[in-house]
């Protein structure tokens, strides 16, 4: 997206930012995206690229051609319903943070199937998108999630 050159261009850019249709990753019902916490309580897992289980398609591939941003992460289920989770999403080799979320299983606060919105920074074209996660239990807890994202075409 080119830099705005007039007030009208700026207004059109702001309109696009506030009113747009997001894409979904993974983009089909038979695909899953699974985030895994470290096996030790309250310890971050290593940074890992976000991908579709058994498919090899990455969230990063969606940003190969256009600048974009993640709008939200939707938690579909968690492996441990009686714990708290923390997730960080980043891009690039320096792991520039896009967003951080805290959520819980059903016996803690609320049903895990909820949407965590974000007004995250833009992901530059061609950057790799990573996550890391930790939980309060001593097991490699998992969260089945999907993302909503938008590309500035």
Q: What is the mean pLDDT of residues 24-36?
A: 95
Contact assessment for residue 74 and residue 146, using Cβ atoms and an 8 Å cutoff: yes
85 exposure class (CB count in 10 Å sphere: 0-12, 13-18, 19+): buried
Evaluate if residue 113 carries a pLDDT over 60.
Answer: no
Give the domains, in start order, of the chain with CATH numbers. 7-151 (2.60.120)
pTM for this entry: 0.84
Q: How confident is the model at residue 109 (pLDDT cuts 50, 70, 90)?
A: low
pLDDT digits (tens, 9 = 90+) for 126-149: 999 999 999 998 888 999 999 999
Evaluate if residue 110 carries a pLDDT over 70.
Answer: no
Of residues 121 and 55, the one with the higher pLDDT is 55
- Of all helices (H) and strands (E), which one includes residue 99? strand 96-104
pLDDT digits (tens, 9 = 90+) for 60-104: 999 999 999 998 999 888 999 888 999 999 999 999 999 999 888
């Amino acid at each position: 997206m080119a830099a705005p050159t007039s007030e009208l261009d700026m207004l059109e850019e702001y309109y696009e930012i506030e009113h747009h249709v997001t894409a979904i990753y993974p983009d089909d019902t038979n695909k899953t995206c699974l985030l895994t916490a470290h096996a030790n309580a309250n310890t971050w897992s290593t940074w890992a690229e976000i991908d579709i289980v058994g498919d090899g398609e990455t969230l990063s591939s969606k940003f190969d051609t256009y600048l974009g941003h993640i709008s939200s992460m939707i938690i579909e289920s968690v492996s441990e319903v009686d714990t708290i989770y923390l997730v960080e999403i980043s891009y690039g080799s320096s792991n520039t943070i896009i967003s951080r979320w805290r959520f819980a299983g059903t016996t803690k606060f609320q049903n895990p199937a909820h949407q965590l919105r974000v007004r995250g920074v833009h992901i530059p074209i061609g950057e790799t998108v990573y996550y890391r996660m930790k939980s309060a239990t001593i097991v490699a807890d998992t969260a089945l999630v999907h993302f909503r994202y938008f590309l500035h075409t």
